[in-house]
Copies of this chain bind each other. A is one copy, B any other.
Amino acid sequence: MSDNPTIFGKILRGEIPCTKVYEDDTVLAFKDINPHAKVHVVLIPKTHITWLRNATPAQQQTLGQLLLAAPKVAEAAGILKSGYRVIINDGPDSHGEVPHLHLHILGGQDLGTKIA
């Protein structure tokens, strides 16, 4: 992790504080500091994958763990029953900002049917 200069790398190393929502051996989830919904959690793998396009077949297990963790994060955030939306941004049109793969988990309100 020491070669991960992103803000999420700093959070993983404890150099920047976060409001933890869920953690296990492979993932960490924390509140987004600039929430787009009533509940907005960021879920990241502890290993450093930059963008989804750069993930390799060797990281398939990590990616699977990440998706399996999403409903656990939603449960920890109190939005599993009411529902949640998972968003991954990759590339200019998506406005992804941090080059450490992350899932936005949104909920706590009606998210609408419009997804773009």
A107 adjacent to B80 (CB under 8 Å)? no
Interface SS, A side: mixed
- Cα of A36 to Cα of B85 in the assembled complex, Å: 16
Complex CA–CA separation, A36 to B112 (angstroms): 12
By the criterion CB–CB under 8 Å, are B79 and A68 in contact? no
Task: Pick the most buried of A62, A64, A66, A113: most chain B CB atoms within 10 A of its CB.
Answer: A64
- Residues of A within 8 A of B (CB-CB), count: 50
Chain A positions 26-83 with a Cβ under 8 Å from a chain B Cβ: 36-37, 40, 52-53, 55, 57, 59-68, 70-71, 74, 79-83
* 10 A–B contacts, CB within 8 A, in A order: A63-B68, A82-B91, A83-B96, A84-B94, A85-B93, A91-B107, A93-B108, A93-B111, A94-B107, A95-B111
